[in-house]
Amino acid sequence: MIDKKFLKDLGINKSNIGTCDGINWYDSGASERTVLSPVDGNVIASVTETDEKSYERVIRTSSKAFVKWRKVPAPKRGEIVRKIGDELRVNKNSLGKLVSYEMGKSYQEGLGEVQEMIDICDFAVGLSRQLYGLTMHSERENHRMYEQWHPLGIVGIISAFNFPVAVWSWNAMIAMVCGNVCVWKPSEKTPLSAIATHKIINKILSENELEGVLSLVTDCEKKLLGKKIASDARVALVSATGSTKMGKSVAEVVGSRLGKSLLELGGNNAIIISQNANIDIAIRAAVFGAIGTAGQRCTTTRRLIIQDFIYDSFIKNLMKAYEQIRIGNPLDEDNHMGPLIDKDAVEMYINAVDRIKKEGGKALIGGGVLEGEAYDSGCYVKPAIYEVENSFSVVQDETFAPILYVIKYSTLDQAIKIQNDVPQGLSSSIMTTKISEAEEFLSSSGSDCGIANVNIGTSGAEIGGAFGGEKETGGGRESGSDSWKAYMRRQTNTINYSDDLPLAQGIKFDF
């Protein structure tokens, strides 16, 4: 039996309000959504959804808050973020358990997700003193040119169920120190983690009278709020994480009003296993990459491209490793893999397995739904391995499940071509101890992904680097490096401190 004390510690009740302006909670009186845990199939709690009136109230409050927040010096904004990070530290264990219980990822992964929130707070605090612009030399005498970065306004954050809190923090903490205010719409599948997060940060926002700086709205199964945020001209930037299908819809709506969008979409990530690889490292990276979060990461390893010389021996070792995977309650730290998010996800998994069989895939470890008392929720599935051709339509698609495809290659050029020959371009990896192979993989003729690793897997990105991908992954960048620039508008300034008005390019205009 699961000890649910963490729900009480986080202020999660049987019924919860799903709308907040950072300080005030708005009971819309709308319908309630019941949230089930994929771990045991039980009801966790219910959430009162955000209605039209409550949404408008949040947006109006956010708009007013921006007028004040943008004038607060960036280092002082960073101090607020530092305090938020400290509150997250205090509540790390409880929030990690809620993430695990509501989403289904292992408790260790839940703790890791909250740690990412803490880490990005630390990063953002430092960033608050480093929002640099360039100074340029003017071609005109007694002129100075430079650029500034100014906040955009309201940033709408649409997050996905697989990282119910971390991805919000990647966006919100950076956007905050840049002077923006944020409205968060979490996945309708994991609203409780978002509500708990807002209750944690409510203390800091209340103490500093920051009504409207960080707000929350929750959606229903019809997913109407995402469309509303995308079409709302008052929302300057929409950062959306989810499927490619969802991202295309958001981009179309935001683009039609010439708004800004930041998209983090699907991945179809591969590890190239060279004959020069450290096999022990490669096996560990492949297994965690494929079954971590039950295959529901955008950076999940979906394809292994294995050199023919070691193909048979590697597959043998891989299958032995899979035999050791323990599946069950993710709050039990002895288990490696928990459930899929819900029965809809299980249905997609089953359909993918059927497609693999129809297209001629060979089962090395066949898929299926797990049965028994420990799997009563109906959301637990077998991690599967199939030998396939990269051209199979099912391989070209992203299936959010622990299905691993294995493909054989002969030369590195062939492996890179296979790696790149999918619509998505998020994360990639090569396992090799040969420097020429590593450098070729990282070159302009190598991986076409936004993330390319050597001797580590495709998942587990650090917050210090810019996170995102190319092609149907959306092209957006979040988190570290100079990703902060996506949350600001660039302004070029020229100052004439002379008594004359020389024109650029030497143009003469006399009268």
Specify whether 298 is catalytic: yes
Two tokens at 303?
């394809």
Q: What is the 3-state secondary structure (H, E, C) of 312-345?
A: HHHHHHHHHHHCCCCECCCCCCCCCECCCCCHHH
The CB density around residue 502, as the number of other CB atoms within 10 Å, is 15
Contact 113, 91 (CB under 8 A): no
DSSP string across 392-444: SHHHHS--SSSEEEEEEESSHHHHHHHHH-SSEESEEEEE-S-HHHHHHHHST
The CB density around residue 23, as the number of other CB atoms within 10 Å, is 20
Residue 311 vs residues 283, 318, 433: alpha-carbon distances, Å: 12, 10, 17
- Closest to 235 in 3D by CA, of 243, 226, 244: 226
H or E stretch including 44? strand 43-48
Cα–Cα distance measured from residue 307 to residue 353, given in angstroms and rounded to the nearest whole number: 25
Match 């640099």 to its residue by tokens: 132
Residue tagged active-site, from 20, 121, 298, 379: 298
HSE on the CB side for 143, CA within 13 Å?
Answer: 16
Instruction: Map residue 354 onto helix, strand or coil.
Output: helix
Residue tagged active-site, from 113, 264, 472, 478: 264
What stretches of 181-303 show up as alpha helix (H) in DSSP?
191-207, 224-231, 244-256, 279-291
Two tokens at 46?
């219910």
Displacement of CA 388 from its chain's centroid (Å): 28
Contact 385, 406 (CB under 8 A): yes
Catalytic residues: 264, 298
